[in-house]
């Protein structure tokens, strides 16, 4: 509850002013505030206690007892058991020590299984971290993208407003027709619609980024720093696939789970072996019948040998072995999907990188075409339709060029995620 109040107080502070961030700062806030990551860490911490629970079987157990009995002295139990002990009135207390000598590897295999599962849970935590970092990175670049597109939309409105004013002035002097004015006003209205949509896109992207960072309500805007362009991807996807197979936390998790399943299968097989233990007891009997000594002590060796239990141990062993085989196959299935995802992410990033150069060339050509169309229109050599089309082409090219850079950075973040290096 205290944590919730802190988050709400921070959100209230953020909402009063724009928030300046770098990508690293956004990722840090996301990891710090995301409850899923905290929950995963607690699960991992809990998993590391399980080996200690199994290891406790190696340690001796010490228990105290206090017994008070009132009976007809010398009375023997006549029903309820096969033994026939004598019961005396007495008041006694004592200690009992039990120590496992060996169970022929069962406890050892259970400890090993628990350690492997704890390590697997650590990988689940790393996978959760990677998911959070990917979502935050993509949301960060989406905000940068929408903010840049909003600037393009604002510039488009300003440029088309200038053209509309010029055409209106020429029409008032009978140098242009009202049709030209109508086309110019339509183009201006389209630009304003683009600006309104861009404003909505910015607010939506900022809301997503705030949610990914664990801020309940978006601040009064984000001021984000542009990130440098990442290094070029290798021309061959094979090294990335090898890296992904080795580093993806989901694959490490399943490998560890498969190893843990194998250890558990061996532990279930060890149920067929006997268990050897030592038991010792000692105490005092301050109030007792004459036939009972005032103190006692004994030590014994217990050997428990399983003989028949209706096939329970065999069924448990078979079940564990089947789970172990299924776990091994799950590793192979996930490896296939990881290779597919890496290849797709690599292709998307390579395509996005190529789009940057092409989009810049397209914008340069569209800008040159608009200048020529404007000159031809001013000289009366073309219609408003040609000018409108040139304006539309430039706007589309500017949007594509602006989007290309941030799309590539988001695609690179996806590649880093797929190969397991987004940490």
Among 35, 12, 20, which Cα is nearest to 214's? Answer: 35
338 inside domain: yes
29 inside domain: no
Q: What are the residue ranges of helices labelled H in 173-248?
A: 178-212, 238-247
Q: Is 292 helix (H, G, I), strand (E, B) or coil?
A: coil
Q: What is the CATH number of the domain that holds 168?
A: 1.20.1600.10
For 381, the enclosing helix (H) or strand (E) is none
How far is it between the farthest Cα atoms of the chain? 135
CA angle, 183 as apex, 181 and 184 as ends, to 5°?
65
Q: Over the range 77-113, which residues count as b (16 or more CB within 10 Å of their CB) and which as e?
A: eeeeeeeeeeebbbebebeeeeebeebeebbbbbbbb
Given a contact cutoff of 8 angstroms between Cβ atoms, the answer to whether 248 and 44 are in contact is no
249 inside domain: yes
2 inside domain: no
328 inside domain: yes
pTM: 0.85
Count of the separate structural domains present in the chain: 1
pLDDT score, position 81 = 67
Q: Using only C-alpha atoms, what is the Rg of the chain?
A: 38
Among 48, 53, 14, which Cα is nearest to 119's? Answer: 48
State how far Cα 410 lies from the chain centre.
Answer: 17
**Phi, psi (deg, nearest 5) at residue 322:** -65, -40
96 inside domain: yes
What does the CA dihedral 232, 233, 236, 237 come to, rounded to 10 degrees?
Answer: 180
With a cut of 50, which residues of the chain have pLDDT below it? 4-8, 11
Could you read off the pLDDT of 375-423 as tens digits, one per residue? 888 888 888 888 888 888 999 999 999 999 999 999 999 999 999 998 7
pLDDT score, position 4 = 47
151 inside domain: yes
80 inside domain: no
- The residue segments making up the domain with residue 315 are 37-68+85-418
pLDDT score, position 8 = 47
């Amino acid at each position: 509850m205290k944590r919730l109040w802190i988050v709400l107080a921070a959100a209230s502070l953020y909402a009063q002013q724009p928030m300046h961030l770098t990508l690293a700062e956004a990722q840090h806030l996301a990891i710090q505030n995301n409850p899923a990551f905290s929950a995963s860490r607690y699960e991992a911490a809990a998993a590391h206690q399980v080996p200690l629970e199994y290891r406790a079987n190696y340690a001796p157990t010490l228990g105290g007892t206090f017994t008070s009995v009132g009976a007809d002295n010398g009375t023997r139990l006549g029903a309820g058991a096969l033994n026939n002990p004598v019961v005396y009135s007495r008041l006694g207390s004592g200690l009992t020590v039990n120590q496992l000598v060996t169970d022929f590897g069962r406890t050892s295999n259970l400890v090993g299984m628990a350690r492997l599962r704890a390590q697997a849970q650590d990988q689940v935590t790393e996978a959760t971290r990677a998911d959070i970092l990917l979502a935050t990175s993509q949301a960060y670049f989406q905000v940068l993208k929408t903010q840049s597109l909003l600037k393009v939309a604002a510039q488009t409105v300003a440029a088309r407003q200038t053209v509309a004013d010029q055409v209106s002035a020429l029409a008032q002097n009978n140098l242009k027709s009202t049709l030209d004015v109508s086309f110019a006003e339509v183009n201006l209205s389209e630009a304003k619609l683009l600006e309104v949509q861009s404003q909505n896109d910015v607010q939506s992207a900022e809301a997503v980024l705030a949610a990914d960072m664990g801020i309940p309500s978006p601040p009064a805007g984000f001021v984000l720093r542009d990130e440098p362009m990442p290094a070029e991807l290798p021309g061959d996807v094979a090294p990335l696939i090898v890296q992904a197979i080795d580093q993806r936390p989901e694959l490490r998790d399943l490998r560890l789970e498969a190893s843990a399943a194998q250890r558990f299968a061996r532990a279930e097989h060890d149920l067929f072996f006997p268990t050897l233990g030592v038991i010792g007891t000692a105490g005092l009997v301050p109030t007792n019948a004459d036939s009972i000594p005032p103190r006692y002590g004994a030590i014994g060796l217990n050997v428990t040998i399983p003989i028949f239990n209706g096939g329970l141990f065999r069924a448990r062993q078979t079940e564990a072995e089947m789970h172990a085989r299924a776990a091994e196959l799950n590793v192979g299935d996930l490896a296939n999907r990881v290779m597919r995802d890496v290849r797709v992410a690599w292709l998307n990033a390579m395509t996005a990188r190529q789009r940057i150069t092409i989009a810049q060339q397209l914008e340069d050509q569209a800008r040159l075409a608009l200048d020529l169309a404007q000159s031809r229109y001013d000289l009366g050599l073309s219609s408003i339709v040609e000018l409108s089309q040139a304006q539309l082409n430039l706007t589309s090219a500017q949007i594509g060029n602006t989007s290309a850079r941030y799309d590539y950075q988001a695609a690179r973040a996806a590649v880093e995620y797929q190969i397991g290096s987004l940490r």
